[in-house]
Amino acid sequence: MTLKTDDVRSIAHLARLHIEEDAVDQYVGDLSSILALVEQMNQVDSEGVIPLSNPLDASQRLRADEVSESDQRDKFQGIAPDVAEGLYRVPRVIE
Amino acid sequence: MPYTVTEIREGLAAGRFSSSEITRDYLSRIAEHNPQLNCFISVTEEIALQQAQAADKALADGKAELLTGVPLAHKDLFCTDGVRTSCGSRMLDNFIAPYDATVVERIHDAGAVMLGKTNMDEFAMGSSNENSWYGSVANPWNAAHVPGGSSGGSAAAVAAGLVPAATGTDTGGSIRQPAALCGVTGIKPTYGRVSRYGMIAFASSLDQGGPFARSAADCALLLQAMSGFDPRDSTSSENEVADFSAQLDQGIEGLRIGLPKEFFAEGLDSRLATVIETAIGELRKLGADVREVSLPNTGLSIPTYYVVAMAECSSNLSRFDGVRFGHRCTDPVDLEDLYKRSRGEGFGDEVKRRILIGTYALSAGYYDAYYLKAQQLRRMIKNDFQQAFADVDLILGPTTPEVAFEIGAKTDDPVSMYLQDIYTISLNLAGLPGMSLPVGFVDGLPVGMQLIGNYFDEARLLQVAHRYQQVSDWHLQMPEAFS
């Protein structure tokens, strides 16, 4: 599978990742060679094999829906780039 | 100066030196050698001296725990409350973790002293430590060569005697491969054995923490402190933890060891194969019953791994959005610009490549062809191991196809870098425990031998490695510049 420059731009948009315009060609090459490696998977017929998502075939452990954490808002917001009155600030999203 | 955890524990117990003394000795070795090696991202001198003082008090009061007074370092991927946790990334260069990882908490509770946080490939993505925002790490055996990765700083620090032990994480070989390339001992336990809470996630179904040290006996102590059920990690295992140190001396008489023929085929440096075969000969002399096994899908483990790992990484790293913590771009024009530029500036090239491939593999129309297919192959790879373990107690082979390569040799070709992981990644896909121990040299660079165990059979791996280390001294050798 060979990607095109527009493919790379659209994947980067899906990933919300800015890539420099002059680096796009490099990504096209690198990502295409990684996909060529990945396509070796098609050499094998895996029809009917049950997918394995947890290596121990374990299922997600559940717990009672009880509050177990204390309020640490000030501590957590102490490392945020921009906060005001206990809220995280981002550029305006509603005009 | 004592370089093993075992010696340090004995010396502290006998009162031959204090934790404060040994901590200062290690801090001065770090100050002397780190500028050349670049093993550390942060040195936590003040914390170390405080913890050492508390340890000396505990020792004096007869309240010593398993690691009381032993200095060590953490890979800079484990969250440490109040201390920068960068994950080797510009994205987290300003991130002061607001809590401790379970591993950090347990090792602290066991009485250890934290010397600092070690260098690593950005977000643990790499096999050479060249992907760190903080620069590459030099291999103590030859500074022109890589230490391996992603836990390259931890491995190099142990090899050079800047720390007696260090923590690491292993998603596709990131403990075993640098251990091999730096000539130290490292173990990746079974998936679920060590809590992932507070371990910055790369690929959640593969990531697992473990220790580096000079010997299997030291690794047993470290792993003991790190292991066990943690309700804060939903994939943590409730299986009982074995007493690793108590089982070290059980011997290997009659132990059935399988050599996967696919691990000794094309691609393995023949000089390295000879070194491994000599070590196998030693194990035979010690009574092991060595035979051939087959892991037919070994070749597929690389493509399978990279699909699973990149898909999970693209999902995990979506949390770095420039809003709540980490790097934020200046003057974003709108929210999308904030996300895109913060991430574009915060992440390095390899992380970007992996996020892009992962995003592609999970995008509409491609999920079945990539992620689902990879999960099917993942089961086939796991089944290969299960079948092999029907006939043997342990699987053994090389850790890496070649010894440490030169810095810069593979940076232009991501795929050739990925091929370095051929013998290590299948274990992560299957969730099995594995370890690497030094068994010799090629061109003055260490060779690692890999031991692979069945699920939760870490004690046996440590036991075999310990038995080998009783009759060999590769693990005790130090690079001349640091001895």
Which amino acid appears at position A13 of this protein?
Answer: H
> Which of B376, B383, B419, B420 would best serve as a mutation to test chain A binding (most A beta carbons within 10 A)?
B376
Does residue B339 belong to the interface with chain A, where contact is any CB pair within 8 Å?
yes
Rounded to 5 degrees, what angle do the CA atoms B381, B387, B391 make? 140
Taking the model in full, what pTM does it have?
A: 0.97
Selected catalytic residue, list B18, B19, B75, B245: B75
Beta-sheet strand order (sheet of B445-453): B40-43, B113-118, B71-75, B165-169, B209-213, B185-188, B434-442, B445-453, B394-398, B256-260, B289-293
Asked if the model's pLDDT at residue B338 lies above 80, the reply is yes
Quick check: bond before B150 cis, omega within 30? yes
The reported pLDDT for the residue numbered A93 is 85
Does residue B12 belong to the interface with chain A, where contact is any CB pair within 8 Å?
no
pLDDT tens by residue, B37-94 = 999 999 999 999 999 999 999 999 999 999 999 999 999 999 999 999 999 999 999 9
How near does any CA of chain A get to the CA of B257, in Å? 23
Residue given tokens 């795929």 in the structure block: B415
Of all residues in chain B, what percent carry a pLDDT higher than 70? 100
> Confidence band (pLDDT; 50, 70, 90) for A95?
confident
The reported pLDDT for the residue numbered A63 is 86
Does residue A93 belong to the interface with chain B, where contact is any CB pair within 8 Å?
yes
Q: How many CB atoms lie within 10 A of CB B333?
A: 9
The yes-or-no answer on residue B204 being catalytic is: no
Which B positions 104-133 lie with beta carbon below 8 A of chain A?
A: none
The reported pLDDT for the residue numbered B69 is 98
- B161-193 burial, b for 16+ CB within 10 Å, e for fewer? bbbbbbbbbbbbbbbbbbbbbbbbbbbbbbbbb
Strand B209-213 relative to strand B185-188: parallel, antiparallel, unpaired? antiparallel
> Confidence band (pLDDT; 50, 70, 90) for B483?
confident
Which B positions 206-225 lie with beta carbon below 8 A of chain A?
A: 206
Pair of tokens at residue B392: 């043997």
How near does any CA of chain B get to the CA of A66, in Å? 13
The reported pLDDT for the residue numbered B106 is 98
The reported pLDDT for the residue numbered A1 is 67
What is the enclosing helix (H) or strand (E) of B176?
helix B176-182
The reported pLDDT for the residue numbered B400 is 98
| Interface contact B323-A81, CB threshold 8 A | yes
The yes-or-no answer on residue B75 being catalytic is: yes
Selected catalytic residue, list B42, B128, B132, B150: B150
Strands in B175-313 per DSSP E: 185-188, 209-213, 256-260, 289-293
Which amino acid appears at position B116 of this protein?
Answer: G
The reported pLDDT for the residue numbered A60 is 83
CA-nearest residue to A16 within chain B is B340
Asked if the model's pLDDT at residue B24 lies above 80, the reply is yes
Mean pLDDT for B27-31 is 98
- CATH architecture, domain B5-257+391-482: Alpha-Beta Complex (3.90)
User: Where along chain A do its domains lie?
Assistant: 5-43
User: Where along chain B do its domains lie?
Assistant: 5-257+391-482
Task: Give the integer Cα–Cα distance in Å for A17 and A15.
Answer: 5
> Confidence band (pLDDT; 50, 70, 90) for A59?
confident
From residue B370, give the alpha-carbon distance in Å to each of A39, A42, A71, B305, B307. 8, 10, 41, 11, 7
What is the enclosing helix (H) or strand (E) of B166?
strand B165-169
Mean pLDDT for B258-279 is 96
How near does any CA of chain A get to the CA of B331, in Å? 9
pLDDT tens by residue, A6-32 = 999 999 999 999 999 999 999 999 999
Which residue did the predictor score with more confidence, B257 or B414?
A: B257
pLDDT tens by residue, B364-403 = 899 999 999 999 999 999 999 999 999 999 999 999 999 9
> Confidence band (pLDDT; 50, 70, 90) for B286?
very high
Mean pLDDT of chain B: 97
What is residue B210's three-state secondary structure?
strand
CA-nearest residue to A14 within chain B is B359
Mean pLDDT for B202-231 is 98
Query: Which chain B residues are closer than 8 Å to A34 by Cβ?
Result: 306, 353, 357, 414-415, 418
Query: Which chain A residues are closer than 8 Å to B315 by Cβ?
Result: none
Task: Give the integer Cα–Cα distance in Å for B154 and B119.
Answer: 7
The yes-or-no answer on residue B174 being catalytic is: yes
Contact call for residues B120 and B136 (beta carbons, < 8 A): no
pLDDT tens by residue, B104-129 = 999 999 999 999 999 999 999 999 99
The reported pLDDT for the residue numbered B412 is 87
Does residue B188 belong to the interface with chain A, where contact is any CB pair within 8 Å?
no
Strands in B195-309 per DSSP E: 209-213, 256-260, 289-293
Q: How many CB atoms lie within 10 A of CB B270?
A: 8
> Confidence band (pLDDT; 50, 70, 90) for B162?
very high
Contact call for residues B93 and B105 (beta carbons, < 8 A): no
Mean pLDDT for B322-326 is 97
Which B positions 37-66 lie with beta carbon below 8 A of chain A?
A: none
Mean pLDDT for B316-330 is 97
What is residue B241's three-state secondary structure?
coil
